[in-house]
Amino acid sequence: MRKKSNIDFNDENFCCPMGSMNRLSKIISKMFRCHFSKLNVTNSQVGIFMILGEKGETSQDSLGKMMLLERSTVSRDLVRLVDQGYLYKAKGGKSPLIGLTKKGQELAAEIKVEWEKGYNESRDLLGEKGLIALKELEKRILESKNK
């Protein structure tokens, strides 16, 4: 016999963290995707361009850790971006170093402009207090994950 749950799904104060985070993530991601669609890049590729645009060359492993992506996802994106001439791979220690080509730097500059539009739109929706609360929540979750 199945044990009855003590969770009241009809309670207006009930909150499923997974469901809430998924819904919010989809809404915010869509705001950004609308701006990136004309550049033909995915959200994870945008992350790669933004990181490399700020940091310059970095290892493939570091890139995956910063973005919290599986190695296979990072590899798949990198292969596409290298093949398209946006990135280069250089030998470096255990993990190859990744950097932007001239063509990649140009696309990274376009991405940054569109990212700022998405950021401003999401900031307007969340407000300053919402952004601060979101950052605090992210910090708490990441700290507990690293314990």
What is the residue extent of each domain of the chain?
36-114
H or E stretch covering 104: helix 102-145
Alpha carbon distance 125, 57 (integer Å): 34
Q: Per-residue pLDDT tens for 26-74?
A: 999 999 999 999 999 988 899 999 999 999 999 888 998 899 888 888 8
Report if pTM > 0.85. no
Give 36-43 contacts, CB < 8 A, sequence gap 24+: 36/111, 36/114, 36/115, 36/118, 38/114, 39/107, 39/110, 39/111, 39/114, 41/107, 41/111, 42/77
Contacts of 125 (CB under 8 A, 6+ apart): 31
Fold that domain 36-114 belongs to in CATH = Arc Repressor Mutant, subunit A (1.10.10)
Query: How does pLDDT run across 68-104, given as a tens digit for each residue?
Result: 888 888 889 999 999 999 999 988 677 789 999 999 9
